[in-house]
Every structure is written in structure tokens, then in C-alpha cells.
């Protein structure tokens, strides 16, 4: 499989806007988006240097801090991991596109939480 260039990715995304399938953020939406990105920059977990010796301990700490899953949940849905400045924009685009394609499944966005 051949990789497409960054310019080609940008060109294809712009097609959605030019064709009216997507709209740019309003100034108010842009303000909230910028605030969300700033909040994710306080997430230090994305910046940890993990190696073979520290990864297991870091994962064990995070798993131990997870809340219990609600009992009795049944059904279908989508879970997207999207915390931190690296992953939040991609998660936002993914959710937006799922809704644009009329996907009505419930979506959970998982992140490490505020200040983590």
C-alpha cells in the first residue's frame, strides 16, 4: 500500500469544506476548542518517557486508578481513546465524522482526566 502525502490529506479534507459537508468552527466554537486544547496540554502522561522497565509500572498505576465499569450495561457503542494534545484532535474529527455519516451509536471518549 502506498502512503499519500500530507498535501494530499489536506486537499482531501478541504474537499469536505468546499462541498459543504463540513463547516469551519464559529469564533465561539474556536474559543472553546482552543480552551480544550490548552487543557490537554496540562496532561503530563503523554510526555512521560516510557521504557521496558517503567511502562509496566505506569500502566499498573493507571489501571488501578480506573473507575469500575457500570454494572448491567448492555448494547453496542463506540469507545475512543482521545486524551492529551496528541490524540484529542483526532478523536474530535473521528466523532464529528461518525455523526456526519449518521452514526447514532453512543460514543464514549476516554481520557486520563483533568490535570493528568
**CB of 61 closer than 8 Å to CB of 73:** no
Question: What pLDDT does 114 receive?
Answer: 66
pLDDT tens-digit readout, 2-56: 678 888 888 888 888 888 888 888 888 888 888 777 766 665 655 667 777 777 7
Close Cβ partners of 107 (under 8 Å, ≥ 6 residues apart): 77, 78, 79, 80, 95, 98
pLDDT tens-digit readout, 11-24: 888 888 888 888 88
The residue ranking higher by pLDDT, 78 or 74, is 78
pTM over 0.75: no
Question: What pLDDT does 44 receive?
Answer: 61
Mean pLDDT of the region 62-79: 73
Amino acid at each position: 500500500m502506498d502512503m499519500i502525502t500530507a498535501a494530499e490529506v489536506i486537499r482531501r479534507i478541504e474537499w469536505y469544506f468546499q462541498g459543504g459537508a463540513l463547516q469551519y468552527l464559529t469564533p465561539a466554537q474556536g474559543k472553546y476548542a482552543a480552551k480544550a486544547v490548552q487543557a490537554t496540554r496540562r496532561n503530563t502522561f503523554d510526555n512521560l518517557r516510557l521504557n521496558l522497565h517503567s511502562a509496566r509500572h505506569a500502566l499498573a498505576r493507571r489501571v488501578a486508578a480506573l473507575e469500575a465499569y457500570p454494572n448491567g450495561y448492555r448494547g453496542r457503542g463506540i469507545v475512543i481513546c482521545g486524551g492529551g494534545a496528541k490524540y484529542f484532535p483526532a478523536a474530535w474529527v473521528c466523532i464529528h465524522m461518525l455523526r456526519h455519516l449518521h452514526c447514532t451509536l453512543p460514543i464514549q471518549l476516554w481520557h486520563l482526566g483533568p490535570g493528568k
